[in-house]
Structure 1
Amino acid sequence: MTIRVLIIDDSATMRAVLAARLSGHPDIQVVGLANNANEGRTAIKELQPDVVTLDIEMPGMNGLDFLDKIMTLRPTPVIIVSGLTQAGSDVTARALALGAVDCYCKTDFSGNAMQDGGKLAGLVRQAAQVKIRRRAPELQQMSAPVRAISAGGGRVNTQVIAIGSSTGGVEALQVLLRGFPEDCPPAMIVQHVDSRFAPAIARTLDSVSPAKVMLAEPDMPMKRGHVYLAPGDDRHMLVAGTNTLHVKLRPGDPISGHRPSVDALFFSVAQRIGRNAIGILLTGMGADGAKGLLAMHQAGAHTIAQDEASCTVFGMPRVAISLGAAGVVAPIGRIAQHAFS
């Protein structure tokens, strides 16, 4: 089956570059080019592409506003095409939080401008497998965080909360973290994303979370009320320490196809913390985190998987559920309640 792609970018040069990077792949067809949101809206209606690549730094309608309209009115898998400035990274992070399935850096060159080693084509193939649903009510309400929640309740011995997510994860993490108390146990997140955008994602999540969200650093002591996001590509994130827990960032081969790997984090928590931990596995493609969540479950930890109806991609949670790893299966808007009650 041929994947139909629409490219929306205000630069004629970039439209040509992106089209050239996809044209050599027989399973992908560029069906249209648009240079602004108005042209893009018309093209989406007329061409009904399987995947849209979107430059969100365009004149006219703000790219984020346009993305929001796409996700609300005509849900379509969108890959954000972004520059590497801090402003560009921040906007990309907000776009992922609105439901874009992935991001692609304009500076990804391999040899010459028309080639990127197949990276964009790979992202397009993955995006084409995503079934975008109309945004659930809990994903539409991204207002100020609710700070009245207390960390008290039935899980007073929780030492660490371990969270894994992939495709659709930034959007889901916003909902999850809005329900976290300010004094939550230290939490660790592995989100599959290009490491160049990880700092901006941490800032985006911090803006909606009652707890402090920050990028993890090597040997960083973990504190209550703090959430640590894995910095990305070249290191796995693990929990370490005995009396005082700290973040360990370890080089190594990909695990379950990823680095950082959710499985690596979950296995370390199962071994180090055991029953005094909570494991949460959110939306994502593939199976990373499923075996690790099972290890946490077998160690006595409280384990939660996101349900199919609220997942962008019911891949990682589906495998975990099939293994018997999830003690609770819940919609994204209820997971924090299950974790802290």
Structure 2
Amino acid sequence: MPIKVLVVDDSALIRSLLGTIIKAEKDLLLVGAAPDAYAARELINQFSPDVITLDIEMPKVDGLTFLEKLMKARPTPVVMISTLTEQGADATLRALELGAIDFIAKPKLDIAQGIEQYRVLILEKIRMAATAKVKKTEKAKISSQLTMGFSGTEKIIAVGASTGGTEAIKDFLVQLPVNSPAVVITQHMPPGFTTSFAKRLDSLCRLKVQEVVGGERILPGNAYLAPGNYHLSIKRSGADYIAQLLDSERVSGHKPSVDVMFQSLSSCAAKNTVAVILTGMGKDGAAGMYNLHQNGAYTFAQDEASCVVFGMPKEAINLGGVDEVLPLNDLAAAVVKRLQKINAGSRV
């Protein structure tokens, strides 16, 4: 059975472009192209689409309001069509919070090569969304009891994620105590979106969350997010760990890449690292986590039931690089417990 796709966008040009892309694929079926939420509602009731592409900026009822109502009444995998602006990034993060599976920026319609890249990317996201778990919006179970009995610069928590990761990272970070060891994070996101994501996390967490600019000393009580279009690498400088940005080729199809971050830690801090791989499509991070594990790091993976997409964790598990597989809501407590254990007797 083909994947039934509904396009919802107020731009006739975008509706035409997405419609043409979808109709050319044998495994996809375009069931409609709606200019607004009212037309979309009728088509949803008529065709029960498997995936919806949804524009954030629409007349009458905006995309976020429509998405919120859709997720309450008829949860459906949604790929948001977003603008590459700060306002667009903020709205996209809100959409992911409301239950959207993923997002893609609006295409640059004047560049032929850009359209081809867009075609490949939107098809990948539609097919992935059709297999993803739609999660009803609910607040994470936050344990206010998590405490850390030590504070020092020696330990690092490393987190990698992709599809579904913005909410998973938030749910993980908000549980960590204020004196937690430093957290380094790679989430697959484009430039600009990571800036908004870091600000949002900083407003919600007890840790200070910042987007890396390069050269930061990695300190406890802080979380460091890789910026879009740069790899985050950690190096040792005397007794300190330093964040550095690499403007090199994509790795595992991504920039930033989880593999790059994990591999750097494997080289300089494996025995002082607790690594976590969260929901995401593909295999980025699996090889890096395996190397970390082999060099003495303790490693966790999010379990299938709590993942939006059980791709990256599954690949890491299959490679043999994971010590424990746990539900998302249990990971923070398990990481803190492990850090308390490995820190016994360490210099603080």
Structure-2-length-normalised TM-score = 0.86
Q: Does 2:201 correspond to 1:205?
A: yes
Alignment partner of 1:294 out of 290, 293, 299: 290
What is the Cα deviation at residue 27 of structure 1? 4.4
For the residue of structure 2 that corresponds to 1:176, the secondary structure is helix
Q: Deviations 1:263-316 (Å, cap 9, x if unpaired)?
A: 111111121112111100001111111111111112221210000000111111
Q: Deviations 1:202-248 (Å, cap 9, x if unpaired)?
A: 22222322212211111122222111111122x21111123221111
CA spacing shift, 1:126–1:16, aligned 2, 3 Å: closer
Alignment partner, residue 241 of structure 1: 236
Residues 102 and 125 in structure 2, CA contact (< 8 A), matched pair in contact too: no
For the residue of structure 1 that corresponds to 2:224, the secondary structure is strand
Counterpart residue identity of residue 86, structure 2: Q
Counterpart residue identity of residue 124, structure 1: L
Alignment partner, residue 74 of structure 1: 74
Q: Deviations 1:162-198 (Å, cap 9, x if unpaired)?
A: 1110111112112111111122211111111222322
The CA distance in 2 between the partners of 1:28 and 1:127, in whole Å, is 9
The CA distance in 2 between the partners of 1:25 and 1:197, in whole Å, is 30
Residues 10 and 55 in structure 1, CA contact (< 8 A), matched pair in contact too: yes
The CA distance in 2 between the partners of 1:161 and 1:326, in whole Å, is 15
Alignment partner, residue 326 of structure 1: 322
Q: Which moved more, 1:187-196 or 1:326-335?
A: 187-196
Structure ranking higher in helix proportion? 2
Alignment partner, residue 192 of structure 1: 188
Q: Which moved more, 1:155-164 or 1:297-306?
A: 155-164
CA spacing shift, 1:111–1:157, aligned 2, 3 Å: closer
What is the Cα deviation at residue 57 of structure 1? 2.3
The CA distance in 2 between the partners of 1:91 and 1:216, in whole Å, is 22
- Provide the aligned length of Structure 1 versus Structure 2: 335
Residues 21 and 116 in structure 1, CA contact (< 8 A), matched pair in contact too: no
Residues 22 and 121 in structure 1, CA contact (< 8 A), matched pair in contact too: no
Alignment partner of 2:308 out of 295, 309, 312: 312
Alignment partner, residue 344 of structure 2: none
What is the Cα deviation at residue 62 of structure 1? 4.3
The CA distance in 2 between the partners of 1:158 and 1:252, in whole Å, is 28
RMSD (CA atoms): 2.6
For the residue of structure 1 that corresponds to 2:116, the secondary structure is coil
What is the Cα deviation at residue 157 of structure 1? 7.8
Counterpart residue identity of residue 255, structure 1: V
Counterpart residue identity of residue 84, structure 2: L
The CA distance in 2 between the partners of 1:182 and 1:146, in whole Å, is 13
What is the Cα deviation at residue 84 of structure 1? 2.4
Alignment partner of 1:150 out of 144, 147, 150: 147
What is the Cα deviation at residue 325 of structure 1? 1.2
Alignment partner, residue 105 of structure 2: 105
For the residue of structure 1 that corresponds to 2:210, the secondary structure is strand
Alignment partner, residue 40 of structure 1: 40
Q: Which moved more, 1:72-81 or 1:286-295?
A: 72-81
Q: Which moved more, 1:73-82 or 1:172-181?
A: 73-82
Unaligned runs of 5+ in 2: 338-348
Q: Deviations 1:67-97 (Å, cap 9, x if unpaired)?
A: 2343444332211112223212111122123
Alignment partner, residue 85 of structure 1: 85
Structure-1-length-normalised TM-score = 0.88
The CA distance in 2 between the partners of 1:193 and 1:339, in whole Å, is 25
For the residue of structure 1 that corresponds to 2:91, the secondary structure is helix
Q: Deviations 1:86-130 (Å, cap 9, x if unpaired)?
A: 2121111221233323222225335269x7114145323333234
Counterpart residue identity of residue 46, structure 1: Q
For the residue of structure 2 that corresponds to 1:280, the secondary structure is strand
Q: Does 2:260 correspond to 1:264?
A: yes
Q: Does 2:113 correspond to 1:117?
A: no
What is the Cα deviation at residue 156 of structure 1? 7.3
Alignment partner, residue 30 of structure 1: 30
Unaligned runs of 5+ in 1: none
What is the Cα deviation at residue 14 of structure 1? 3.4
Q: Which moved more, 1:96-105 or 1:236-245?
A: 96-105
